Amino acid sequence: MLETRPRGRGGAERKARQGDGAGAGPRWAGFRASGGRRCLSPPDLQLSRRGSGGGTSMERLWGLLHRTQRLSPRPSQTIYKRVEGTQQWRLEEEEEDGEEGAEPPIHFCPMELRGPDLGSRAGKQNLGLWAATARRAAPYLVLTTLLIFTGAFLLGYVAFRGSCQACGDDVLVVSEDINYEPGPDSHQGTLYWSDLQAMFLRFLGEGHLEDTIRQTSLRKRVAGSAGMAALAQDIRVALLGQKLDHVWMDTHYVGLQFPDPAHPNTLHWVEAAGKLGEPLQLEDHDVYCPYSATGNATGELVYAHYGRPEDLQDLRARGVEPAGRLLLVRLGEISFAQKVASAQDFGARGVLIYPDSADFSQDPHKLGLSSHRAVYGHVHLGTGDPYTPGFPSFNQTQFPPVQSSGLPNIPAQPISADIASLLLRKLQGPVAPQEWQGHLPVSPYRLGPGPGLHLGVNNHRVSTPISNIFGCIEGRSEPDHYVVIGAQRDAWGPGAAKSAVGTAILLELVRTFSSMVSNGFRPRRSLLFISWDGGDFGSVGSTEWLEGYLSVLHLKAVVYVSLDNAVLGDDKFQAKTSPLLISLIENILKQVDSPNHSGQTLYEQVMFNNHSWDAEVIQPLPMDSSAYSFTAFAGVPAVEFSFMEDGQAYPFLHTKDDTYENLHRVLRGRLPAVAQAVAQLAGQLLIRLSHDHLLPLDFGRYGDVVLKHIGSLNEFSGDLKARGLTLQWVYSARGDYIRAAEKLRKEIYSSEESDERLMRMYNVRIMRVEFYFLSQYVSPADSPFRHIFLGHGDHTLDALLDHVRLLRSHGSGDPRAASSGVAPGLGFQESRFRRQLALLTWTLQGAANALSGDVWNIDNNF
């Protein structure tokens, strides 16, 4: 049998053993081991002492092993020695150094066999046994190797799929395993999306949203007022108390219009002789239309429904001419500014705007606006300071005196439902269409004309300082890319729904993300929190900031999220958004709990209350949205979402009744829950946009937008062909954009997410898609809203469509043409069509080329 002796024998004993071995016949020395370890031979290896002689192949093997032995260190030596009187061999260990009695653990070690001739029959027999053993072990070795390889492959595959943000056909699918590695100063381990989501919800739940809404709505905060200055300082102090990297303010000096207390606006009847008659008492002289033309307007009164271009065209078709008259129009459908602009385009002399209860609620038991309340609203067809269009108002003395083309030339004034009832009773002429009838105590509504009216507007312009407040959490990997979230701070009245809710949610999100940073979170991209001033005058604060930093922001701003008008009810949900954000919004809604229905997600509530996702939930950004300038002017994708009541609009917006108590009653006590849901939605949007390696923006969506517009243009392809004109250029440009988007999608899908340089390159291309749709062929000063889908002017797709419609109007004009800059009454003009088509096509083609990446990657034959 094989025996082992204890380690640590002295040199004399070693020599004696070696001598014994030498005199006992053939001697084996083998199994060289590493220093100090006891080694065992493979159990199947049995050596016979019988036989001598040589085998040529075996001699070569022993020679090779012997040379290997000489090249290796010799801290210890193990030998086989024959045991007298037996046919077995015992394993002896010889060491040069060691301690007596040490018993180390057993190891299998690299071995070397040295011996004499193995040419004998017994040697060959034992060698055959060794080979047979190796053959039996081979399948198990192969199987083990395959199992290890398969396991490693599956582990690598799972890890890759878990990190891929562009799996499948949708680049917006993001795994739960996307991780975040905190900075070196962090004590937190790796954070995953589920960890971040849980952390965010935990800290968000610690806030006091309802108290902040109540306290903010109680403060007077008209832009430029002392109350607003005090609130601004309070918010700045609150931001400084959080764990933000930067907090600062900027101030703009803007031209705002206010009523003149010494000369209030007036409305009089006009007698037959043309003299001013009895005045109609305006209940609240504080209610006015900022940026209305000042002066007097006299004319007969005409009822014009909502004052849309199609309403005025319908009015004219019924034999009632709007030109030279004062128009009485209802609140709703379009903004105050659009109503006044349409009236001006049709030759009206002035506009009176009133709230009709038919537009707020069909249920008489629901809370409604008092009949003596008028509604506030500015009438600048644009955003920002209208006296420095296209330029920032840091110091307006640096710029020549100029006015925005969106300022109206006719006066406008809000009136109450009570005064509107008096006016409607005086109207003569045809009965208004059934869909034009309202709920005022007048039956039926007539179109007019009625008796003459005299409107006097005496508003005055004041140079006013306004301040925006900023707080920033710097990103760790892409700090020069900003995810921006903002809320209007000012309000003409109490402004509970208008701005108090948004301000409270903004402050709560600042506090929540600050707590997350303290607990190890650091976003990849920077988070920028902004409290805007001057919002009630047409997003003045935000637009002036965009104008001041336009050359930087279109390269650095990723997305803008607006919190204005976020809670106007709790039944329905609406997102006014860029197409790039639609898929992300849908995904986040599926992860937020419904504030109304336990066990349901917000997405399930939305789909239950809204029959069509595209028609009812997703809307384009309107000009009166605070997010509009970001997209239409700066080319930054933006979203503004709102919860609303089913079947009615929030009746108190822009009135002195927009109080915390009324908002609380409209929501039937669910204001805290709905505000919390909005905060969850906005916060998770911020996490995804600032945290994901690949920006979750669906750049392929714009291909569908173009297709929708082209479908409308196709109706007129025969009319154009008859004139020798074609839309083929637009079709080709759209095809190039679709191909570029699909090519980029495939590149992203096949790329490694761990490649930071590659991810940043893709993100830069994705985040600039919106900017690509700003027409480069019109001046920002002359046409600030250059976006071909959302903008205003001759360069837009809507303007082209409205112009093409004139092919079938037989020279009578199209009611929608006025809103696109076409004067009513003008017919189709071929030269203008060719210019519009060229501007539009090359903007779309430029977007396709930019999405393709480098110039050598552009593959089109345009």
Dihedral sign, CA of 794, 798, 801, 805? negative
pLDDT band at 390 (very low <50, low <70, confident <90, very high): confident
Q: Does the pLDDT at position 77 exceed 50? A: no
Cα separation, 538 vs 383, whole angstroms = 5
Residue listed under structure tokens 């919004």: 585
- Between CA 523 and CA 697 the distance in angstroms is 17
State the greatest distance between any 2 C-alpha atoms of the chain, in Å, as a whole number. Answer: 150
Q: Check pLDDT > 50 for residue 715.
A: yes
677/47: higher pLDDT? 677
The answer for residues whose C-beta is within 8 angstroms of residue 735's C-beta and 6 or more apart is none
Give the mean model confidence (pLDDT) for residues 491-512: 96
Strands 525-532 and 326-330, sheet pairing: unpaired
Select from 709, 720, 671, 702 the least CA-distant residue to 798: 709
Cβ-based neighbour number of residue 767 at 10 Å = 26
> What confidence tens digit (pLDDT) does each residue in 803-812 have?
998 888 754 4
What is the rounded average pLDDT of the residues 572-585? 94
Distance CA 150, CA 706 (A): 47
Query: Taking residues 115-143, what's their average pLDDT?
Result: 59
> Token pair for residue 471?
């707080």
Q: Give the range among 143-157, 404-418, 582-596, 743-757 with minimum mean pLDDT.
A: 143-157
Query: How many Cα atoms occupy the beta-carbon half-sphere of 30 within 13 Å?
Result: 20
Distance CA 639, CA 618 (A): 10
DSSP 857: G
Which pairing describes strands 638-644 and 460-473: parallel, antiparallel, or unpaired? Answer: unpaired
Bridge partners, 174 (sequence order)? none
Average pLDDT over residues 508-537: 95
* CA count, 13 A, side-chain hemisphere, 105: 2
Of the candidate ranges 274-278, 504-508, 621-625, the one whose mean pLDDT is the lowest: 274-278
DSSP 24-67: TSS-EEE----TT-EE---TT----S------HHHHHHHHHHHH
Q: Which residues have CB under 8 Å from 376's CB, separation 6+? A: 287, 288, 289, 414, 492, 493, 536, 654, 655
Helix (H, G, I), strand (E, B) or coil at 380: coil
Average pLDDT over residues 244-263: 95
As beta bridge partners, residue 276 has 270
pLDDT single digits (tens) 469-492:
999 999 999 999 999 999 999 999
In angstroms, what CA-CA distances link 419 with 279, 280, 357, 389, 769?
11, 7, 14, 36, 49
Task: Report residue 132's pLDDT band, with 50, 70 and 90 as the boundaries.
Answer: low
Q: Quote the pLDDT of residue 24.
A: 42
Q: How far apart are CA 463 and CA 395, in angstroms?
A: 11
Of 492, 491, 516, which is closest to residue 501 (Cα–Cα)?
Answer: 491
Mean pLDDT score, 250-268: 94
pLDDT of residue 125: 56
Per-residue pLDDT, 42: 41
Provide the percentage of residues in the chain whose pLDDT is more than 70. 75
Cβ neighbours of residue 628 closer than 8 Å, sequence gap 6 or more: 383, 539, 621, 622, 638, 790
Using the predicted structure, report yes or no on whether residue 647 has a pLDDT greater than 70.
Answer: yes
Query: In whole numbers, what is the pLDDT of the chain averaged over residues?
Result: 81
User: Band of the pLDDT at 500, cuts 50, 70, 90?
Assistant: very high
Q: Which has more confidence, 453 or 89?
A: 453
Q: What is the number of residues in the chain?
A: 862
| DSSP calls for 76-111 | EEEEEEEPTTSS-EEEEEEESS--TT--PPEE----
Helix (H) or strand (E) holding 481: strand 478-488
Cβ distance 711 to 730 under 8 Å?
no
Q: What is the pLDDT of residues 780-803, one digit of tens each?
A: 778 889 999 999 889 999 999 999
Residue 61 is predicted with a pLDDT of 47
pLDDT of 18 higher than 90? no
Q: Could you read off the pLDDT of 536-575 as tens digits, one per residue?
A: 999 999 999 999 998 888 889 999 999 999 999 988 899 9
- 326 SS3 class: strand
Q: Provide CB contacts within 8 A for 757, sequence distance 6+.
A: none
Least reliable range by pLDDT among 114-128, 334-348, 629-643: 114-128
Measured between its terminal Cα atoms, the distance across the chain in Å is 88
CB atoms closer than 10 angstroms to residue 688? 23
Q: Which of 386-400, 434-448, 724-738, 764-778 shows the lowest per-residue confidence on average (mean pLDDT)?
A: 386-400
Per-residue pLDDT at 141: 75
Would you call the peptide bond into 449 cis, given omega within 30 degrees of 0 as the criterion? yes
pLDDT at 405 over 90: no
Residues 6+ apart with CB under 8 A from 491: 221, 222, 498, 499, 500, 536, 658
Pick the closest to residue 393 from 500, 547, 174 (CA basis). Answer: 547
pLDDT at 689 over 80: yes
Burial of residue 545 (CB within 10 Å: 0-12, 13-18, 19+) is buried
- CA-CA distances (angstroms) from residue 125 to 45, 132, 202? 12, 11, 75
Residue 280 has pLDDT above 60, yes or no: yes
What pLDDT is stored for residue 394 in this prediction?
Answer: 73
Strands across the sheet containing 76-82: 89-95, 76-82, 28-30, 113-114
pLDDT tens for residues 48-70? 333 444 444 455 544 544 554 44
Residues 6+ apart with CB under 8 A from 764: none
User: Cα separation of 121 and 90, whole Å?
Assistant: 22
Residue 637, preceding peptide bond in cis (omega within 30° of 0): no
Average pLDDT estimate for 13-19: 41
Beta carbons of 577 and 628 less than 8 angstroms apart: no
10-21 core/surface letters (b: 16 or more CB in 10 A; e: else): eeeeeeebbeeb
How does pLDDT run across 610-629, given as a tens digit for each residue?
777 877 899 999 998 999 99
